[in-house]
Amino acid sequence: MDEADWSAFTEYSNKYFKEHNLKKLESLKANCRNLNVLWTKIKNALITTANKTVPFSYRSADDALSKPKSLTSCYSALTKLNRILLKFRTKYLTCSLWIDQPVWQDNLAMIQNIILEHQLEPVVFPSSLTAENVRPVKKLLLSIYKTIYRKA
């Protein structure tokens, strides 16, 4: 950015400061909540000002910050588990509608694969779903989901 761009940035940020009455934030007491409020207002001001005044920005291919493999594998596992958990919705269970045997076997293989991939404690699931075990299976699936979610 050259000198003219910086002056345009300064002018717009001053205008933004006045239009949004950010002067009142100077009198806030110093505490965690107000620090978060200040940071949010400053961030919004900077982003808005940059979007309005910076003519272009360059980003090299080297700057691309790829997500770590562990994070993307967590997202993938959460997506798969969520798809399975949707079949265990309460409205289905109250009507005695749950996954049939072949689909459950496929899902069971996927769940065991996720458990191995994320190095979770082994869990024994029943080979078929019945009225007596369908709700405990749902609880087990939810606990696995929550464990992976906390890792992400």
Give the Cα separation of 146 and 140 in Å (integer). 10
Instruction: Tell me if the pTM is above 0.75.
Output: no
CB 28 within 8 A of CB 37: yes
28 torsion bin: left (phi>0), alpha (psi -120 to 50), beta (else): beta
pLDDT > 70 fraction of the chain, expressed in percent and rounded: 89
Task: Tell whether the model's pLDDT for residue 86 goes beyond 80.
Answer: yes
What digits encode the pLDDT tens for the residues 50-69?
888 887 766 666 666 666 66
**For residue 64, what pLDDT is reported?**
63
